[in-house]
Amino acid sequence: MTEPTDFELLELAAPYALHAVSDEERADIDRRLAAAPSAVAAAFGNEVRAVRETMAVVASATTAEPSVQLRAAILAAVKPATRRQSSWRTKAFASAAAVTIGLAGFGLGVMARPHATPTVAEQVMSAPDMKSVSRPLGSGQATVMFSRDRNAGVLVMNNVPPPSPGTVYQMWLIGANGPRSAGTMGPAAVQPTTMATLNNLDTCRMLAFTVEPGTGSAQPTTPILAELPLK
Amino acid sequence: MTGPPQLSNDLDALLRRVARGDNDAFAAFYDHTKSRVYGLVIRVLRDSGYSEETTQEVYLEVWRTASDYDSAKGSALAWLLTMAHRRAIDRVRSEQAGSRRESRYGAANVDMASDVVSDSAIAGDERRRVAECLKGLTDAQRQCIELAYYGGMTYAEVSQRLAANLSTIKSRMRDALRGLRNCLDVP
């Protein structure tokens, strides 16, 4: 293979700026730019910048409105733990506390009250590899934000109806060895907004919910209500 | 020029405050930009659930990295939408496999100008101007931008799809972008 010329490198500025190169090619281009004469690297940078500014203007032709729930979820995610608690948040903490009581030994931690060291939730939110996945649960929604680097996740349930009396929602982390319980929530624990943290995701690829009788089961005994892929 | 100059200045100022952990500035930044971000993401992903997840990731990245933004290197809107587009493309590429991927490319191959969604927050003038400029491209140029930018294909995949050689595709992309840039008066 011949050594690529500067001209060939500059030709790649447009596809590079449009994210129309594979990850391998992007890395290769970055290496070539680092080794290229500074004038070539500057010309490449100018071209990329012009494409990005142009496409930012073009974005005014493809606007669409997200749901109001998304705004609430995003703003709630960055709210400082030290800020005065609004009423729903107090409720969420109250329900989280209820979760703790029901969960001793289950490995499900809970959003901690404000303190100096970052909570698991804060660590997850600030993790560069944080990902988010949402699925309907009953008439509400369950969202998990998780980080493989932190080996943890934050579960937020919005407007999920409480389970019937005498039953609980049970969460299962599913990996190669099948499901393991990630805790339960009884009717009193489920509030309009309920948060909990999930520790030790390890190699689990899925968070699933079932309704279980009494205080929970060792293995799922009813059909899965919702599955959130953790990939 | 990205949008009205006033918006551009406002966004710069808001991002500086976001970098200092200002929640109100973050909310205002979200309100000013959400319809562009979500609109671009859903244009790529074509699924409201995936698009909301990706939009959430984008804004949490804004919260985390606002201090990295350097107005000398480009506008706040370009910084934000580059981030949004990158995440949407990554999501498309990781979600799609085999035949589903192929059908998504089919879905992406629609006329951009006819896919305009109204939004009172964005001047109708600018939308019309963009639609006019898109119409000014050749069909072949527009197709390249659609398949790559909205369809998530690499230029090599676009070349296979259109049975055109790689340098032809690269030229079409470059010419399309230069045409848009001149037509839209982007410096």
Give B-chain residues touching A125 at CB under 8 angstroms. 60
Q: What is the pLDDT of residue B123?
A: 60
Inter-residue contact A226 to B49 (CB < 8 Å) = no
Which residues 6+ apart lie within 8 Å of B99 measured at CB?
none
Question: What is the distance in angstroms between the Cα of B70 and the nearest Cα belonging to chain A?
Answer: 13
Give A-chain residues touching B74 at CB under 8 angstroms. 49, 52-53
Q: What is the pLDDT of residue B115?
A: 41
Name the least confident of A54-68, A110-124, A142-156, B57-71: A110-124
Nearest chain B alpha carbon to A52: B78
Residue A68 contacts B where some CB pair is shorter than 8 Å: no
Tens-place pLDDT, residues B111-128: 444 343 434 445 678 888
Q: Which burial class, exposed, middle or buried, applies to B141 when counting CB atoms under 10 A from its CB (0-12, 13-18, 19+)? A: buried
CB pairs under 8 A between A and B: 191
Q: What is the pLDDT of residue A10?
A: 92
Q: Which burial class, exposed, middle or buried, applies to B126 when counting CB atoms under 10 A from its CB (0-12, 13-18, 19+)? A: middle
Nearest chain A alpha carbon to B61: A128
CA distance B153 to A70: 28
Q: What is the pLDDT of residue B121?
A: 44
CA distance A84 to B168: 59
Alpha-carbon distances, residue B101 vs A195, B104, B147, B153, B164 (angstroms): 35, 5, 12, 10, 20
The larger pLDDT score, comparing residue A120 to residue B61, is at B61
Which residues 6+ apart lie within 8 Å of B150 measured at CB?
B43, B44, B108, B112
Residue A136: phi and psi, rounded to 5, are -65, 145
Q: What is the pLDDT of residue A81?
A: 54
Nearest chain B alpha carbon to A65: B35
Tens-place pLDDT, residues B42-72: 999 998 999 999 999 999 999 999 999 999 9
Residue of A19, A25, A68 to mutate, testing the B interface (most B Cβ within 10 Å of its Cβ) = A19
Which residues 6+ apart lie within 8 Å of A167 measured at CB?
A187, A211, A212, A213, A214
**pLDDT of A174 strictly over 60:** yes
Inter-residue contact B66 to B23 (CB < 8 Å) = no
Residue A25 contacts B where some CB pair is shorter than 8 Å: yes
Q: What is the pLDDT of residue A3?
A: 46
Q: What is the ipTM of this complex?
A: 0.87
Give B-chain residues touching A51 at CB under 8 angstroms. 177, 181
Longest CA span, chain B: 51
Cβ of B78 within 8 Å of Cβ of A61? The answer is no
Of B2, B43, B148, the CB nearest to A57: B2
Query: Facing residues of A185 across strands?
Result: A169
Of A20, A53, A63, the CB nearest to B35: A63
Question: Which of B161, B149, B162, A6 is CA-nearest to residue B173?
Answer: B149
In the β-sheet with A193-199, what is the strand arrangement from edge to edge? Answer: A131-137, A140-147, A152-158, A193-199
Residue A132 contacts B where some CB pair is shorter than 8 Å: yes
Mean of the per-residue pLDDT values for chain A?
79
**pLDDT of A1 strictly over 50:** no
Tens-place pLDDT, residues A190-207: 877 777 788 888 888 899
SS3 B73: helix
Cβ of B148 within 8 Å of Cβ of A50? The answer is no
Tens-place pLDDT, residues B155-168: 999 999 999 999 99
Number of H helices, E strands in chain A: 7, 8
Does the pTM surpass 0.95? The reply is no
Dihedral (Cα; A63, A18, B26, A72), 10-degree rounding: 50
Residue of A16, A63, A69, A86 to mutate, testing the B interface (most B Cβ within 10 Å of its Cβ) = A63
Mean of the per-residue pLDDT values for chain B?
85
CA distance B30 to A66: 11
